[in-house]
Structure 1
Amino acid sequence: MAKSFTLVQLRYFTVVARLENMRAASYELNVTQSTLSAAIGQLERELGVQLFHRRSNRGLRLTDAGRRLLVGSRTVLEDADQLHHSVRAEREELAGDLVVGIFSPLAPFLAPMILTVFKERHPAVKLSFFEADQEALIRALAEGTCETALMYDLGLGTDYDYQVLQTVPPHLVVAEDHPRAAIPDEPVHLRDFEAEPFILLDLKHSREYYLDIFKRLGLRPRIRHFVSGYETVRSYVSMGHGYSLLNWRLTRDETYAGGRVVALELADELPPTELVLVRLRGGRPTRKSLAFQEICVDLLGQAPPEQH
């Protein structure tokens, strides 16, 4: 016998799943918490499964059944949105919500640019970014919080497919008054900086990547500061607190602290990272996520992208 859950219940469910909090979801949906709770309860009864773990004072967490429903709900809701718009308009237009993960250090530089182009091409889609570190993005993809994520290829397992957009080699950054900053076009060797204080971008997977660079060269960095923010690293460097290694290279050299940094190319042969679009393997991508992928390739792709 077919189950009689509704599209409204599915929409409510997807918002609660994304926010993991009834109060926040009721605010976003503009319904009362009691209405939302009743809708989720009815959905669970219709499906005969528990969709959320209720955690005292810690919000909600999807069960395995809830994660499976979230993945399947995306295409159902998208098809419903497309049907609605095709009836009301002469041409079919993408519509609905799309949540995309993005690696936090990349978000200030890439998210506004991508959002601008996406809104121009698909004005009926509400695009939202979920900013997090690599570990949290991998978890969000596995749990269905976001359908795709723009990140580096660090820490990915076999459960994920990804598309390469750019190869991003590491570079070294120093303050503008550093002696080596006077000749910015001349590549440098990392060993020449080993004795100086090092500022580490302290995010899981990123941290291991940078420390492995030193290990490959037989070097040990003098780590002076562990910093979790990309711009904080650059600001520390600009104020003379040490040097650092980074990957994403900015065109501007001024930092939030007001000082300036100089990016130096490394002469050492070092492994690059790859900027990739990641999705959970085996899922059917929505047309909205494919439209996002197309825009990322247009804006960020260096060459015909590779599929993994």
Structure 2
Amino acid sequence: MKLQQLRYALEVYRHNLNVSEAAEALFTSQPGISKQIRLLEEELGIQIFIRSGKRVVSVSQPGKAVLELAERILRDVQNIKNIGSEFTEHDSGSLTIATTHTQARYALPAIVAEFVQRYPKVRLSIKQGSPDVLAQMVVNGEADFAIATEALEENGELRKLPCEAWTHAVVVPDDHPLLDCRHPLAIEDLAAFPLVTYEFALNHNNNIARAFQKARLDLPTVALSSADTDVLKTYVRLGLGVGLMAKMAYDVKTDSDLHLIDASHLFEPSHTYIALRPDTYLRGYTYDFINLFAPKLTRTQIDKMLYEPIEEDFSI
């Protein structure tokens, strides 16, 4: 059994059983991957993947157990490498961050610039996606940590480190009727217009949906949803609806053709979290990046929240 074989099998699973995509991601050939997986299956005496002709169509029951252990083994191998690198090459390596477009575009640029200045030898990569996708990237080991909103709380495999809270705002073009409404903005006024907002904004447990429910109003129509704040603003300019987005994503210079209306009083603040696996060995520069993003998160506090057992309260 070779680590390479485990990696190949896991990559096929991660690419929805598409061997060609797995081969492309690993910069190798499809026949090479298929051969190594066959050899692994022969050694184990089981089928990891169920096939129909030449196509992989599903994962067998014992295959699921093998893939789960393979993921753990490869993660531990990476942790061992990280420990060695921390003492031999403490200022070089790689760091992959999974985050939303809003964080990448508006919250991270100054942090990244400072980090790159401190650690010019570290290869920094930023991957974007929805909160659910970001969480899965960390679970799968595709990212070292994720920066996103409270939607990450639903994933029990990750530890969440609380950072800053952020508020919502409404953006509208010139001459929009909301500009003539009473101030501060009332939720009844907002409910009268279709929204252009985030994909997850009106999920059942989201604070935006809760605000409309608390006011006993029907959820407004969503004319367009996107994870990309700049896309939202583009369609607000085209008149599709009222933009509801993170207040920090409004830029006075580039968005001068849009009007910002504060909505922080209408919706509970949203919280930004950093999500990590509790079995991850963090490099020194990873602690520094987190501290740059959230100064209150020192190395001691991060270790306490990440590695100490969670105390369950069973009192009634």
TM-score, normalised with respect to structure 2: 0.70
Give, as a single letter, the amino acid of the residue that structure 2 aligns with 1:201: T
Q: Does 1:285 align with 2:284?
A: no
Alignment of 1:288-299 (within 5 A): 288=283, 291-292=285-286, 294-299=288-293
Identify which of 250, 260, 264 aligns with 2:257.
260
Please state how far the C-alpha of 1:215 moved relative to its aligned partner: 1.5
TM-aligned CA deviation for residue 295 of structure 1: 1.0
CA distance in 2, matches of 1:174, 1:71: 48
Displacement of 1:245 in angstroms is 2.1
Measure, in 2, the Cα distance between the counterparts of 1:233 and 1:241. 10
- 1:95 counterpart (93, 96, 108): 93
2:197 paired residue number: 201
Please state whether the residue corresponding to 2:151 is helix, strand or coil.
Answer: coil
Q: 1:74 and 1:129 mapped to 2: Cα distance?
A: 20
Matched-pair contact (CA < 8 Å) for 2:83–2:281: no
Distance 1:60 1:165 in 2: 40
Corresponding residue number in structure 2 for 1:36? 33
C-alpha displacement of 1:14: 5.9
C-alpha change, 1:178 and 1:33, in structure 2 (3 Å) is same
Identity across aligned pairs (percent)?
18
Deviations, residues 82-121 of structure 1 (Å, cap 9, x unaligned): 64796xx6x544535x554323554444566665555555
Please list every run of 5 or more consecutive structure 1 residues that lacks an aligned counterpart in the other structure. none
Residue in 2 aligned with 1:172? 170
Aligned to 1:237: 236
Count of residues in Structure 1 that have an aligned counterpart in Structure 2: 291
Report matched runs for 1:296-307 at 5 Å: 296-299=290-293, 301=294, 303-304=296-297, 307=305
1:284 Cα offset (Å): 1.0
Residue 214 of structure 1 aligns with which residue? 212
Q: Secondary structure at the match of 2:74?
A: helix
Q: What pairs with 1:1-308 in structure 2 (closer than 5 Å)?
A: 5-6=2-3, 8-9=4-5, 12=8, 16=12, 18-20=14-16, 21-44=18-41, 63-80=64-81, 83=84, 91-95=89-93, 99-110=96-107, 119-122=116-119, 126-154=123-151, 156-157=153-154, 158-178=156-176, 181=179, 187-195=184-192, 197-201=193-197, 203-204=199-200, 207-208=203-204, 209=206, 210-223=208-221, 225-229=223-227, 230-247=229-246, 249-253=248-252, 260-266=257-263, 268=265, 270-280=267-277, 283-288=278-283, 291-292=285-286, 294-299=288-293, 301=294, 303-304=296-297, 307=305
- Could you say if the C-alpha distance between residues 134 and 164 of structure 1 is closer, same or farther in structure 2, counting changes exceeding 3 Å? same
Residue-by-residue CA offset, 1:188-213 (whole Å, 9 max, x unaligned)? 23223333x22143524654422222
Pairwise CA RMSD: 4.1
Alignment deviations for residues 282-306 of structure 1 (CA, whole Å, 9 cap, x no partner): x411324x7445413313x264588
Which TM-score applies when normalising by structure 1? 0.71
